[in-house]
Amino acid sequence: MPPPIRRLFALDARELRDLIRAQVALLKAEWRLKREPIGALAIRDPTHADHAAGDPVRARALARAVERAATHGIFRPYCLTRAMAIRALLERDGIRGASIRVGVRRHQGEFQAHAWILWAHEVLGDRAEHVAQFTEVDDLRVLQRG
């Protein structure tokens, strides 16, 4: 049996349900990303982190499910799609206060952008040391198409 299949069978029922929900959330986020202005998708309320509510263990589990689905699922989504999916799952599970953050950097002469989730002053779906390499952009309306 291939290793990905073995790992799938090692999941408990809740993890498997989360993985399926994560794959659906990624597909929905990808669909939205193709149809709505990027700036409208990632606009954030700067007070969200101070008003976070919900179970941190559950929040981390949902973020982990999205990362698993993104890594082993039916397509490899970009970071903004992953962040949108995490936020949607958190909201559906009553975990409030998550916001999509976007940062930019210049790396080896190349301009790069990255998106992640911040909830309760915690980075979800990414490593804090990775997102620390980016300068956060506060006003994303400049990214709106057209």
Measured in degrees and rounded to the nearest 5, phi and psi for residue 96 equal -105, 155
Whether the predicted pLDDT of 7 surpasses 90: no
Q: What is the mean pLDDT of the chain?
A: 87
Q: What are the pLDDT digits (tens) for 43-69?
A: 555 555 567 899 999 999 999 999 999
Cβ contact 142:102 at 8 Å: no
Nearest-angstrom CA–CA distance, 78 and 8? 23
Q: Give tens-digit pLDDT for 105-142.
A: 999 999 999 999 999 999 999 999 999 999 998 766 55
pTM for the full model?
A: 0.85
> Which whole number is the average pLDDT over 34-45?
68
Distances (CA, A) of 39 to 65, 81, 100, 141: 25, 13, 11, 5
